[in-house]
Amino acid sequence: MELLLERDTIAPAAASGGERGDWTIDQQWDRYTAQEHLVWKTLYERQASMLAGRACDAFLAGMRALSIGSSGIPDFRRLSELLIRQTGWQVVAVPGLVPDEVFFEHLAKRQFPAGQFIRKPEQLDYLQEPDVFHDVFGHVPLLTNPVIADYLQAYGVAALQAKERGVLALLARVYWYTIEFGLVEQKDGLRLYGAGIVSSYAESLFALDSASPNRIRFRLPRVMQTDYRIDDFQETYFVIRDLDELLALAHTDFAPLYAQVRGLEALQPRAVLPDDVLLNAGTGTYHRARI
Protein backbone atom coordinates (compact mmCIF):
# COMPACT_ATOMS: atom_id res chain seq x y z
CA MET A 1 0.00 0.00 0.00
CA GLU A 2 1.18 3.50 -0.56
CA LEU A 3 0.19 7.00 0.37
CA LEU A 4 0.27 8.33 -3.11
CA LEU A 5 -1.68 11.50 -2.58
CA GLU A 6 -1.17 11.95 1.11
CA ARG A 7 2.22 13.48 0.61
CA ASP A 8 3.27 14.98 3.89
CA THR A 9 6.76 13.57 3.57
CA ILE A 10 9.07 13.97 0.66
CA ALA A 11 12.36 12.25 0.00
CA PRO A 12 15.01 14.56 1.45
CA ALA A 13 17.65 13.51 -1.08
CA ALA A 14 16.03 15.54 -3.81
CA ALA A 15 14.18 18.18 -1.83
CA SER A 16 15.08 20.82 -4.37
CA GLY A 17 14.01 18.72 -7.33
CA GLY A 18 17.42 17.19 -7.89
CA GLU A 19 20.02 18.24 -10.40
CA ARG A 20 17.57 17.91 -13.26
CA GLY A 21 14.81 19.94 -11.61
CA ASP A 22 12.18 17.30 -12.35
CA TRP A 23 13.16 15.01 -9.45
CA THR A 24 14.35 12.23 -11.71
CA ILE A 25 17.55 10.41 -10.89
CA ASP A 26 19.59 7.70 -12.55
CA GLN A 27 18.26 4.28 -11.64
CA GLN A 28 21.86 3.06 -11.28
CA TRP A 29 20.70 -0.44 -12.05
CA ASP A 30 24.28 -1.78 -11.82
CA ARG A 31 24.39 -0.82 -8.16
CA TYR A 32 21.54 -2.98 -6.90
CA THR A 33 22.92 -5.63 -4.58
CA ALA A 34 22.27 -9.36 -4.79
CA GLN A 35 20.10 -9.03 -1.70
CA GLU A 36 17.98 -6.30 -3.34
CA HIS A 37 17.45 -8.46 -6.42
CA LEU A 38 16.52 -11.31 -4.10
CA VAL A 39 13.81 -9.18 -2.46
CA TRP A 40 12.36 -8.57 -5.93
CA LYS A 41 12.54 -12.27 -6.75
CA THR A 42 10.81 -13.22 -3.49
CA LEU A 43 8.02 -10.69 -4.02
CA TYR A 44 7.67 -11.53 -7.70
CA GLU A 45 7.38 -15.27 -7.22
CA ARG A 46 4.79 -14.89 -4.50
CA GLN A 47 2.64 -12.52 -6.57
CA ALA A 48 3.03 -14.01 -10.03
CA SER A 49 1.78 -17.47 -9.12
CA MET A 50 -1.17 -16.06 -7.22
CA LEU A 51 -2.25 -13.47 -9.81
CA ALA A 52 -3.01 -15.94 -12.59
CA GLY A 53 -6.80 -15.95 -12.65
CA ARG A 54 -6.94 -12.90 -10.38
CA ALA A 55 -5.31 -10.04 -12.27
CA CYS A 56 -7.12 -8.87 -15.41
CA ASP A 57 -5.96 -10.23 -18.77
CA ALA A 58 -4.48 -6.86 -19.80
CA PHE A 59 -2.23 -6.83 -16.74
CA LEU A 60 -0.98 -10.37 -17.34
CA ALA A 61 -0.42 -9.59 -21.03
CA GLY A 62 1.61 -6.52 -20.03
CA MET A 63 3.82 -8.60 -17.75
CA ARG A 64 4.56 -10.94 -20.64
CA ALA A 65 5.09 -8.16 -23.19
CA LEU A 66 7.66 -6.47 -20.96
CA SER A 67 9.27 -9.74 -19.83
CA ILE A 68 8.94 -8.68 -16.22
CA GLY A 69 10.15 -11.75 -14.38
CA SER A 70 11.77 -13.19 -11.32
CA SER A 71 15.39 -12.65 -12.33
CA GLY A 72 15.67 -9.33 -10.53
CA ILE A 73 14.76 -5.65 -10.46
CA PRO A 74 14.05 -4.58 -14.05
CA ASP A 75 16.26 -2.04 -15.78
CA PHE A 76 14.10 1.03 -16.52
CA ARG A 77 15.99 1.71 -19.76
CA ARG A 78 14.96 -1.67 -21.13
CA LEU A 79 11.36 -1.26 -19.95
CA SER A 80 11.18 2.19 -21.52
CA GLU A 81 12.52 0.97 -24.86
CA LEU A 82 9.73 -1.59 -25.01
CA LEU A 83 7.02 0.74 -23.68
CA ILE A 84 7.84 3.62 -26.02
CA ARG A 85 7.21 1.33 -28.99
CA GLN A 86 3.88 0.15 -27.60
CA THR A 87 2.22 3.19 -26.06
CA GLY A 88 4.80 5.99 -25.97
CA TRP A 89 5.36 5.73 -22.21
CA GLN A 90 8.66 5.68 -20.33
CA VAL A 91 9.62 4.75 -16.78
CA VAL A 92 11.76 7.33 -14.98
CA ALA A 93 13.46 6.81 -11.62
CA VAL A 94 12.70 9.03 -8.63
CA PRO A 95 14.06 8.76 -5.08
CA GLY A 96 10.64 8.14 -3.48
CA LEU A 97 7.65 10.39 -3.04
CA VAL A 98 7.77 13.54 -5.12
CA PRO A 99 5.51 16.62 -4.90
CA ASP A 100 2.07 16.24 -6.46
CA GLU A 101 2.65 18.65 -9.32
CA VAL A 102 5.93 16.93 -10.24
CA PHE A 103 4.19 13.56 -10.29
CA PHE A 104 1.35 14.86 -12.46
CA GLU A 105 3.69 16.68 -14.83
CA HIS A 106 5.45 13.39 -15.48
CA LEU A 107 2.15 11.59 -16.11
CA ALA A 108 1.05 14.35 -18.49
CA LYS A 109 4.27 13.68 -20.46
CA ARG A 110 3.72 9.91 -20.48
CA GLN A 111 6.53 9.34 -18.00
CA PHE A 112 5.84 7.09 -15.05
CA PRO A 113 7.90 8.08 -11.97
CA ALA A 114 9.00 4.87 -10.26
CA GLY A 115 10.72 4.58 -6.91
CA GLN A 116 14.36 3.61 -7.45
CA PHE A 117 14.77 1.80 -4.14
CA ILE A 118 13.39 -1.55 -3.03
CA ARG A 119 11.98 -2.41 0.38
CA LYS A 120 14.01 -4.27 2.98
CA PRO A 121 13.53 -8.03 3.44
CA GLU A 122 11.65 -7.35 6.70
CA GLN A 123 9.18 -5.04 4.88
CA LEU A 124 7.79 -7.51 2.37
CA ASP A 125 4.17 -6.96 3.39
CA TYR A 126 3.95 -3.30 4.20
CA LEU A 127 5.65 -0.19 2.96
CA GLN A 128 4.49 3.39 3.24
CA GLU A 129 6.44 4.80 0.32
CA PRO A 130 6.10 3.38 -3.19
CA ASP A 131 9.19 1.36 -4.04
CA VAL A 132 10.31 -0.23 -7.28
CA PHE A 133 8.22 -3.32 -6.69
CA HIS A 134 4.99 -1.42 -6.18
CA ASP A 135 5.68 0.97 -9.04
CA VAL A 136 7.08 -1.42 -11.62
CA PHE A 137 5.32 -4.67 -10.83
CA GLY A 138 2.07 -2.91 -9.88
CA HIS A 139 1.80 -0.07 -12.40
CA VAL A 140 4.03 -0.64 -15.39
CA PRO A 141 2.41 -3.74 -16.98
CA LEU A 142 -0.84 -1.86 -17.65
CA LEU A 143 1.06 0.98 -19.31
CA THR A 144 1.27 -1.39 -22.30
CA ASN A 145 -2.51 -1.12 -22.59
CA PRO A 146 -3.59 1.77 -24.86
CA VAL A 147 -6.62 2.65 -22.72
CA ILE A 148 -4.68 2.81 -19.46
CA ALA A 149 -1.86 4.66 -21.24
CA ASP A 150 -4.26 7.40 -22.38
CA TYR A 151 -6.20 7.46 -19.12
CA LEU A 152 -3.12 7.99 -16.99
CA GLN A 153 -1.83 10.79 -19.18
CA ALA A 154 -5.25 12.47 -19.13
CA TYR A 155 -5.30 12.07 -15.37
CA GLY A 156 -1.98 13.91 -15.09
CA VAL A 157 -3.34 16.83 -17.12
CA ALA A 158 -6.63 16.93 -15.18
CA ALA A 159 -4.86 16.71 -11.83
CA LEU A 160 -2.63 19.71 -12.59
CA GLN A 161 -5.80 21.70 -13.33
CA ALA A 162 -7.57 20.34 -10.25
CA LYS A 163 -4.67 21.38 -8.04
CA GLU A 164 -4.90 24.93 -9.37
CA ARG A 165 -8.62 24.97 -8.61
CA GLY A 166 -8.15 23.58 -5.12
CA VAL A 167 -10.11 20.38 -5.82
CA LEU A 168 -7.30 17.87 -6.10
CA ALA A 169 -8.72 15.78 -3.25
CA LEU A 170 -11.78 14.99 -5.37
CA LEU A 171 -9.69 13.75 -8.27
CA ALA A 172 -7.29 11.92 -5.96
CA ARG A 173 -10.19 9.66 -5.03
CA VAL A 174 -10.67 8.76 -8.68
CA TYR A 175 -7.02 7.76 -8.97
CA TRP A 176 -7.22 5.80 -5.75
CA TYR A 177 -10.32 3.83 -6.67
CA THR A 178 -9.18 3.12 -10.24
CA ILE A 179 -5.42 3.03 -10.82
CA GLU A 180 -4.57 1.94 -7.27
CA PHE A 181 -7.53 -0.13 -6.07
CA GLY A 182 -9.76 -0.78 -9.05
CA LEU A 183 -11.59 -4.01 -9.92
CA VAL A 184 -12.85 -4.87 -13.39
CA GLU A 185 -15.40 -7.35 -14.67
CA GLN A 186 -14.24 -9.87 -17.24
CA LYS A 187 -16.37 -12.48 -18.99
CA ASP A 188 -14.84 -15.09 -16.69
CA GLY A 189 -15.31 -13.13 -13.49
CA LEU A 190 -14.14 -10.25 -11.36
CA ARG A 191 -10.47 -9.31 -11.78
CA LEU A 192 -7.89 -6.96 -10.26
CA TYR A 193 -6.31 -4.06 -12.12
CA GLY A 194 -5.35 -1.59 -9.34
CA ALA A 195 -1.61 -1.45 -8.67
CA GLY A 196 -2.07 -1.13 -4.92
CA ILE A 197 -3.87 -4.47 -4.96
CA VAL A 198 -1.82 -6.47 -7.45
CA SER A 199 1.44 -5.53 -5.71
CA SER A 200 0.08 -6.72 -2.34
CA TYR A 201 -0.27 -10.42 -1.62
CA ALA A 202 -2.78 -10.01 1.19
CA GLU A 203 -4.95 -7.42 -0.53
CA SER A 204 -5.05 -9.45 -3.76
CA LEU A 205 -6.77 -12.16 -1.77
CA PHE A 206 -8.94 -9.82 0.29
CA ALA A 207 -10.21 -7.71 -2.61
CA LEU A 208 -11.51 -10.70 -4.57
CA ASP A 209 -12.27 -13.41 -2.03
CA SER A 210 -13.34 -11.78 1.22
CA ALA A 211 -17.03 -11.23 2.01
CA SER A 212 -16.06 -8.20 4.11
CA PRO A 213 -15.63 -5.33 1.60
CA ASN A 214 -18.34 -3.74 -0.51
CA ARG A 215 -17.97 -4.14 -4.24
CA ILE A 216 -19.91 -1.40 -5.94
CA ARG A 217 -20.39 -0.43 -9.58
CA PHE A 218 -18.16 2.55 -10.40
CA ARG A 219 -19.92 5.89 -10.81
CA LEU A 220 -17.72 8.94 -11.18
CA PRO A 221 -19.46 11.53 -8.95
CA ARG A 222 -19.98 8.85 -6.28
CA VAL A 223 -16.28 7.99 -6.26
CA MET A 224 -15.26 11.65 -6.17
CA GLN A 225 -17.26 11.99 -2.98
CA THR A 226 -15.84 8.93 -1.21
CA ASP A 227 -12.97 8.90 1.26
CA TYR A 228 -10.56 6.00 1.24
CA ARG A 229 -8.40 4.03 3.65
CA ILE A 230 -4.69 4.68 3.57
CA ASP A 231 -3.85 2.53 6.58
CA ASP A 232 -5.46 -0.81 5.75
CA PHE A 233 -7.34 -2.78 3.12
CA GLN A 234 -10.12 -0.86 1.39
CA GLU A 235 -13.63 -1.14 2.81
CA THR A 236 -15.12 -0.60 -0.64
CA TYR A 237 -13.86 -1.48 -4.11
CA PHE A 238 -15.44 0.13 -7.16
CA VAL A 239 -15.91 -2.09 -10.17
CA ILE A 240 -15.75 -1.01 -13.81
CA ARG A 241 -17.41 -3.06 -16.56
CA ASP A 242 -14.27 -3.12 -18.69
CA LEU A 243 -11.10 -1.08 -19.10
CA ASP A 244 -12.75 0.94 -21.88
CA GLU A 245 -14.82 2.60 -19.18
CA LEU A 246 -11.62 4.44 -18.26
CA LEU A 247 -11.38 5.79 -21.79
CA ALA A 248 -14.60 7.72 -21.26
CA LEU A 249 -13.18 8.96 -17.96
CA ALA A 250 -10.08 10.23 -19.75
CA HIS A 251 -12.29 12.47 -21.89
CA THR A 252 -14.50 13.72 -19.09
CA ASP A 253 -14.90 17.44 -18.44
CA PHE A 254 -14.46 17.44 -14.67
CA ALA A 255 -15.41 21.09 -14.10
CA PRO A 256 -19.18 20.54 -13.74
CA LEU A 257 -18.51 17.55 -11.49
CA TYR A 258 -16.30 19.58 -9.17
CA ALA A 259 -19.13 22.08 -8.83
CA GLN A 260 -21.55 19.25 -8.08
CA VAL A 261 -19.40 17.41 -5.55
CA ARG A 262 -17.22 19.95 -3.76
CA GLY A 263 -19.97 21.24 -1.48
CA LEU A 264 -21.08 17.76 -0.44
CA GLU A 265 -19.93 16.05 2.71
CA ALA A 266 -17.42 13.27 2.05
CA LEU A 267 -18.81 9.76 2.22
CA GLN A 268 -17.16 7.30 4.58
CA PRO A 269 -15.22 4.51 2.89
CA ARG A 270 -17.81 1.98 4.04
CA ALA A 271 -20.90 3.97 3.00
CA VAL A 272 -23.54 2.37 0.79
CA LEU A 273 -26.06 4.64 -0.96
CA PRO A 274 -29.60 3.69 -2.02
CA ASP A 275 -28.72 4.15 -5.69
CA ASP A 276 -25.49 2.14 -5.56
CA VAL A 277 -25.36 -0.98 -7.68
CA LEU A 278 -23.98 -3.48 -5.22
CA LEU A 279 -22.13 -6.47 -6.59
CA ASN A 280 -21.36 -7.50 -3.05
CA ALA A 281 -22.81 -5.98 0.11
CA GLY A 282 -19.84 -6.27 2.42
CA THR A 283 -20.24 -7.81 5.85
CA GLY A 284 -17.66 -5.37 7.24
CA THR A 285 -16.37 -8.15 9.46
CA TYR A 286 -12.69 -7.52 8.79
CA HIS A 287 -12.63 -3.83 9.64
CA ARG A 288 -14.99 -4.18 12.64
CA ALA A 289 -12.54 -6.63 14.16
CA ARG A 290 -9.72 -4.12 13.72
CA ILE A 291 -11.31 -1.34 15.76
HEC per residue, the chain: CCCCCCCCCCCHHHCCCCCCCCCCECCCHHHCCHHHHHHHHHHHHHHHHHHCCCECHHHHHHHHHCCCCCCCCCCHHHHHHHHHHHHCCEEEEECCCCCHHHHHHHHHCCEEEEECCCCCHHHCCCCCCCCHHHHHHHHHHHHHCHHHHHHHHHHHHHHHHHHHHCCHHHHHHHHHHHHHCCEEEECCEEEECCHHHHCCHHHHHHHHHCCCCEEEECCHHHHHCECCCCCCCCCEEEEECCCHHHHHHHCCCCHHHHHHHCCCCCECCCCCCCCCCEEECCCCHHHHHHC
By CB under 5 A, is residue 195 in contact with Fe ion?
A: yes
Interface region with Fe ion, contact rule CB under 5 A, candidates 80-88, 143-151, 190-198, 214-222: 190-198
Nearer to Fe ion, 118 or 195 (CB): 195
Please state, in angstroms and rounded to a whole number, the distance separating the CA atoms of residues 143 and 91.
10
C-alpha 104 chain-centroid distance: 13
Smallest distance, Fe ion to C-beta of residue 256, A: 28
Smallest distance, Fe ion to C-beta of residue 199, A: 8
Q: Exposed, middle or buried: residue 62 (CB in 10 Å: 0-12, 13-18, 19+)?
A: buried
Measured from each CB, the residue nearest to Fe ion is 195
Nearer to Fe ion, 113 or 213 (CB): 113
Interface region with Fe ion, contact rule CB under 5 A, candidates 7-15, 42-50, 112-120, 194-202: 194-202
By CB under 5 A, is residue 152 in contact with Fe ion?
A: no
Nearer to Fe ion, 107 or 195 (CB): 195
Smallest distance, Fe ion to C-beta of residue 107, A: 11
Nearer to Fe ion, 182 or 282 (CB): 182
By CB under 5 A, is residue 91 in contact with Fe ion?
A: no
Smallest distance, Fe ion to C-beta of residue 193, A: 12
Smallest distance, Fe ion to C-beta of residue 141, A: 13
Nearer to Fe ion, 136 or 239 (CB): 136
Nearer to Fe ion, 68 or 195 (CB): 195
Total number of residues that touch Fe ion (CB under 5 A) = 1
Nearer to Fe ion, 147 or 172 (CB): 172
Interface region with Fe ion, contact rule CB under 5 A, candidates 16-24, 109-117, 160-168, 191-199: 191-199
Residues that bind Fe ion (CB under 5 A): 195
